[in-house]
Chain A
Amino acid sequence: MSQKKAQLILEDGSRFSGYSFGADMPTSGEVVFNTAMTGYPESLTDPSYAGQILVITYPLVGNYGVPGFETENGIPLFFESDKIHVKAVAISDYSFKYSHWNATKSLDQWLKEHNVPGVFGVDTREITKIIREHGVMLGKVAIENAPEPAEFFDPNKENLVAQVSIKKSKRYGEGKYNVILVDCGCKYNIIRCLMRRDATVTVVPWDYDFTHMEYDGVMISNGPGDPQMCGATISNIQKAMNVGKPIFGICMGNHLLSIAAGANTYKLKYGHRSHNQPVLKVGANTAYITSQNHGYAVNPEQLDKDWEPYFVNLNDGTNEGIRHKSKPFFSVQFHPEATSGPVDTEFLFDDFIKMMR
Chain B
Amino acid sequence: MQQEKIKKVILLGSGALKIGEAGEFDYSGSQALKALKEEGIETVLINPNIATIQTSENIADKIYFLPVTPEYVEDVIIKEKPQGILLAFGGQTALNCGVKLYQSGVLEKYNVQALGTPVQAIIDTEDREKFVKKLDEINVKTIKSQAVTTVADAKRVAGELGYPIIVRAAYTLGGLGSGFCDNEEELEILAQKAFTYSPQILVEKSLRGWKEVEYEVVRDRYDNCITVCNMENFDPLGIHTGESIVVAPSQTLTNAEYHKLRKLAIKIIRHIGIVGECNVQYALDPNSEDYRVIEVNARLSRSSALASKATGYPLAFVAAKLGLGYGLHELKNAVTKSTTACFEPALDYIVCKIPRWDLGKFKGVSRELGSSMKSVGEVMAIGRTFEEAIQKGLRMIGQGMHGFVANKELTTNNVVQELGHPTDKRIFVIANALRQGYSVKDIHELTKIDCWFLDKLQNIVDLETTLEQYDAIQKVPDETLRIAKQKGFSDFQLARIIFRANNENIEEKMLKVRHHRKAQGITPVVKQIDTLAAEYPAKTNYLYVTYNGTAHDIEFGEQSAIDSSSPNSVVVLGSGAYRIGSSVEFDWCSVNAGNTIRKRGYRSIMVNFNPETVSTDYDECDRLYFDELSLERVLDITELEQPLGVVVSVGGQIPNNLAMRLRKQQVPILGTSAEDIDRAEDRHKFSSLLDKIGVDQPRWKELSTINAIYSFVDEVGFPMLIRPSYVLSGAAMNVVSNKEELEHFLTLATSVSKQHPVVVSEFIENAKEIEIDAVAQSGKLVAYAISEHVEFAGVHSGDATLVFPAQKMYVETMRRIKHIARQVAQGLNISGPFNMQLLAKNNDIKVIECNLRASRSFPFVSKVLKVNLIELATRVMLGEQVEPPHKSVFDLDYVGVKAPQFSFTRLQKADPVLGVEMASTGEVGCIGDDFSEALLKAMISVGYGIPRKNVLLSTGDSRSKIETLSAAKMLQKNGYDIFATKGTADFLAGNGVQATVLHWPDQSEQPNTLTYIKEKKIDLVVNIPKNLSKDELNNDYLIRRGAIDFNIPLITNARLASAFIDAFCRLSKEDVRIKSWNEY
Residues of chain A whose beta carbon lies under 8 Å from any beta carbon of chain B:
1, 16, 33, 35-39, 41-42, 57-60, 63-64, 67, 78, 92-93, 95, 97-102, 122-126, 128-129, 132-133, 270, 274-278, 280, 285-289, 314-316, 338-344
Contact of B533 among A35, A60, A101, A289 (CB under 8 A): A35
Residues of chain B whose beta carbon lies under 8 Å from any beta carbon of chain A:
222-226, 249-256, 258-259, 262-263, 266, 286-288, 327-329, 338-340, 342-350, 384-386, 440, 450-452, 455-456, 479, 483, 525, 527, 532-537, 548-551, 553
- B-chain residues with CB within 8 Å of residue A92 when the two chains form the complex: 384-385, 548
Whether A97 and B452, one on each chain, are in contact in the complex, defined by CB atoms closer than 8 angstroms, is yes
- B-chain residues with CB within 8 Å of residue A132 when the two chains form the complex: 534-537
For residue B545, give the distance in angstroms from its CB to the closest CB of chain A.
14
Known: A132-B537, A289-B226. A38 touches B254 (CB 8 A): yes
Contact of A126 among B251, B342, B551 (CB under 8 A): B551
Whether A287 and B224, one on each chain, are in contact in the complex, defined by CB atoms closer than 8 angstroms, is yes
Whether B288 and A101, one on each chain, are in contact in the complex, defined by CB atoms closer than 8 angstroms, is yes
Contact of A102 among B254, B450, B479, B483 (CB under 8 A): B254
- A-chain residues with CB within 8 Å of residue B266 when the two chains form the complex: 344
State the 6 A-B residue pairs at the shortest beta-carbon distance, nearest first. Answer: A39-B255, A97-B455, A99-B452, A35-B346, A35-B533, A340-B255
Whether B344 and A276, one on each chain, are in contact in the complex, defined by CB atoms closer than 8 angstroms, is yes
- Main SS at interface, chain A: loop
- A-chain residues with CB within 8 Å of residue B224 when the two chains form the complex: 285-288
Question: What is the CA–CA distance of A314 and B553 in the complex, to the nearest angstrom?
Answer: 26
Known: A95-B452, A126-B550. A277 touches B343 (CB 8 A): yes
- B-chain residues with CB within 8 Å of residue A16 when the two chains form the complex: 550
Whether A57 and B385, one on each chain, are in contact in the complex, defined by CB atoms closer than 8 angstroms, is no
Name 17 extra pairs, CB < 8 A, besides A38-B250, A95-B455, A344-B225.
A1-B479, A16-B550, A35-B533, A38-B249, A59-B350, A60-B385, A99-B450, A100-B252, A101-B288, A123-B549, A128-B533, A270-B535, A287-B224, A289-B342, A316-B339, A340-B259, A342-B344
For residue B1065, give the distance in angstroms from its CB to the closest CB of chain A.
59
- A-chain residues with CB within 8 Å of residue B344 when the two chains form the complex: 275-276, 289, 342
Whether A285 and B329, one on each chain, are in contact in the complex, defined by CB atoms closer than 8 angstroms, is yes
Contact of A57 among B252, B286, B328, B348 (CB under 8 A): B348
- B-chain residues with CB within 8 Å of residue A278 when the two chains form the complex: 329, 340, 342-343
Whether B252 and A315, one on each chain, are in contact in the complex, defined by CB atoms closer than 8 angstroms, is no
- A-chain residues with CB within 8 Å of residue B343 when the two chains form the complex: 276-278, 289, 314-315
- A-chain residues with CB within 8 Å of residue B256 when the two chains form the complex: 78, 339
Known: A314-B329, A315-B343. A124 touches B348 (CB 8 A): yes
Whether A93 and B384, one on each chain, are in contact in the complex, defined by CB atoms closer than 8 angstroms, is yes
Nearest residue (CB) in A for B346 is A35
Max chain B Cβ within 10 angstroms of own Cβ: one of A124, A315, A340: A315
- A-chain residues with CB within 8 Å of residue B451 when the two chains form the complex: 97, 99
Question: What is the CA–CA distance of A259 and B479 in the complex, to the nearest angstrom?
Answer: 53
Nearest residue (CB) in B for A93 is B385
Max chain A Cβ within 10 angstroms of own Cβ: one of B222, B259, B483, B535: B535
- B-chain residues with CB within 8 Å of residue A339 when the two chains form the complex: 255-256
For residue B280, give the distance in angstroms from its CB to the closest CB of chain A.
15
Whether B346 and A100, one on each chain, are in contact in the complex, defined by CB atoms closer than 8 angstroms, is no
Max chain A Cβ within 10 angstroms of own Cβ: one of B259, B345, B455: B259
- A-chain residues with CB within 8 Å of residue B253 when the two chains form the complex: 38, 64
For residue A122, give the distance in angstroms from its CB to the closest CB of chain B.
8
Known: A63-B251, A343-B263. A125 touches B348 (CB 8 A): yes
Question: What is the CA–CA distance of A314 and B452 in the complex, to the nearest angstrom?
Answer: 37
Question: What is the CA–CA distance of A273 and B199 in the complex, to the nearest angstrom?
Answer: 52
- A-chain residues with CB within 8 Å of residue B348 when the two chains form the complex: 35, 57-59, 124-125, 128
For residue B462, give the distance in angstroms from its CB to the closest CB of chain A.
11
Whether A276 and B255, one on each chain, are in contact in the complex, defined by CB atoms closer than 8 angstroms, is no
Whether B339 and A280, one on each chain, are in contact in the complex, defined by CB atoms closer than 8 angstroms, is no
Whether B345 and A276, one on each chain, are in contact in the complex, defined by CB atoms closer than 8 angstroms, is yes
Question: What is the CA–CA distance of A37 and B346 in the complex, to the nearest angstrom?
Answer: 7
Max chain B Cβ within 10 angstroms of own Cβ: one of A36, A102, A287: A287
- B-chain residues with CB within 8 Å of residue A125 when the two chains form the complex: 348, 527, 533-534, 549, 553
Max chain A Cβ within 10 angstroms of own Cβ: one of B258, B350, B451: B258
Whether B548 and A98, one on each chain, are in contact in the complex, defined by CB atoms closer than 8 angstroms, is no
- A-B contact list, 7 entries, CB within 8 Å: A35-B532, A99-B450, A99-B451, A102-B254, A123-B548, A286-B224, A340-B259
- B-chain residues with CB within 8 Å of residue A98 when the two chains form the complex: 452
Whether B259 and A342, one on each chain, are in contact in the complex, defined by CB atoms closer than 8 angstroms, is yes
Contact of B340 among A35, A122, A315, A341 (CB under 8 A): A315
Question: What is the CA–CA distance of A16 and B346 in the complex, to the nearest angstrom?
Answer: 23
- A-chain residues with CB within 8 Å of residue B455 when the two chains form the complex: 95, 97, 99
For residue B315, give the distance in angstroms from its CB to the closest CB of chain A.
16
Nearest residue (CB) in B for A133 is B537
For residue B289, give the distance in angstroms from its CB to the closest CB of chain A.
9
Whether B263 and A128, one on each chain, are in contact in the complex, defined by CB atoms closer than 8 angstroms, is no
For residue A41, give the distance in angstroms from its CB to the closest CB of chain B.
8
Known: A59-B385, A315-B536. A37 touches B262 (CB 8 A): no
For residue B452, give the distance in angstroms from its CB to the closest CB of chain A.
4
For residue A348, give the distance in angstroms from its CB to the closest CB of chain B.
15
For residue B989, give the distance in angstroms from its CB to the closest CB of chain A.
70
Whether B533 and A64, one on each chain, are in contact in the complex, defined by CB atoms closer than 8 angstroms, is no
For residue A130, give the distance in angstroms from its CB to the closest CB of chain B.
9
- B-chain residues with CB within 8 Å of residue A123 when the two chains form the complex: 525, 548-551
Question: What is the CA–CA distance of A56 and B549 in the complex, to the nearest angstrom?
Answer: 14
For residue A273, give the distance in angstroms from its CB to the closest CB of chain B.
9
Whether B483 and A1, one on each chain, are in contact in the complex, defined by CB atoms closer than 8 angstroms, is yes
Question: What is the CA–CA distance of A289 and B452 in the complex, to the nearest angstrom?
Answer: 29
- A-chain residues with CB within 8 Å of residue B450 when the two chains form the complex: 99
Whether B349 and A59, one on each chain, are in contact in the complex, defined by CB atoms closer than 8 angstroms, is yes
Whether B548 and A57, one on each chain, are in contact in the complex, defined by CB atoms closer than 8 angstroms, is no
Nearest residue (CB) in B for A344 is B266
Known: A38-B255, A280-B329, A285-B329. A59 touches B346 (CB 8 A): no
For residue A159, give the distance in angstroms from its CB to the closest CB of chain B.
29
Whether B259 and A341, one on each chain, are in contact in the complex, defined by CB atoms closer than 8 angstroms, is yes
Whether A274 and B549, one on each chain, are in contact in the complex, defined by CB atoms closer than 8 angstroms, is no
Question: What is the CA–CA distance of A315 and B328 in the complex, to the nearest angstrom?
Answer: 12
Question: What is the CA–CA distance of A61 and B518 in the complex, to the nearest angstrom?
Answer: 29
Known: A1-B483, A59-B350, A124-B348. A287 touches B551 (CB 8 A): no
Question: What is the CA–CA distance of A92 and B327 in the complex, to the nearest angstrom?
Answer: 36
- A-chain residues with CB within 8 Å of residue B385 when the two chains form the complex: 59-60, 92-93
Question: What is the CA–CA distance of A108 and B677 in the complex, to the nearest angstrom?
Answer: 55
Question: What is the CA–CA distance of A28 and B480 in the complex, to the nearest angstrom?
Answer: 30
Question: What is the CA–CA distance of A15 and B901 in the complex, to the nearest angstrom?
Answer: 57
Question: What is the CA–CA distance of A280 and B220 in the complex, to the nearest angstrom?
Answer: 14
Question: What is the CA–CA distance of A345 and B617 in the complex, to the nearest angstrom?
Answer: 34
For residue A165, give the distance in angstroms from its CB to the closest CB of chain B.
25
Contact of B254 among A97, A100, A338 (CB under 8 A): A100
Contact of B548 among A59, A63, A270, A314 (CB under 8 A): A59
Known: A92-B548, A278-B342. A285 touches B537 (CB 8 A): no
For residue A109, give the distance in angstroms from its CB to the closest CB of chain B.
16
Nearest residue (CB) in A for B387 is A93
Max chain B Cβ within 10 angstroms of own Cβ: one of A275, A278, A314: A278
- A-chain residues with CB within 8 Å of residue B483 when the two chains form the complex: 1
Whether A58 and B347, one on each chain, are in contact in the complex, defined by CB atoms closer than 8 angstroms, is yes
Whether B252 and A38, one on each chain, are in contact in the complex, defined by CB atoms closer than 8 angstroms, is no
Whether B259 and A64, one on each chain, are in contact in the complex, defined by CB atoms closer than 8 angstroms, is no
Question: What is the CA–CA distance of A78 and B256 in the complex, to the nearest angstrom?
Answer: 9
Question: What is the CA–CA distance of A285 and B252 in the complex, to the nearest angstrom?
Answer: 35
Whether A314 and B342, one on each chain, are in contact in the complex, defined by CB atoms closer than 8 angstroms, is yes
Question: What is the CA–CA distance of A1 and B345 in the complex, to the nearest angstrom?
Answer: 34
- A-chain residues with CB within 8 Å of residue B263 when the two chains form the complex: 342-344
- A-chain residues with CB within 8 Å of residue B249 when the two chains form the complex: 37-38, 58
For residue A29, give the distance in angstroms from its CB to the closest CB of chain B.
20
For residue B283, give the distance in angstroms from its CB to the closest CB of chain A.
15
Contact of B222 among A41, A270, A286, A289 (CB under 8 A): A286
- A-chain residues with CB within 8 Å of residue B551 when the two chains form the complex: 123, 126
For residue B888, give the distance in angstroms from its CB to the closest CB of chain A.
56
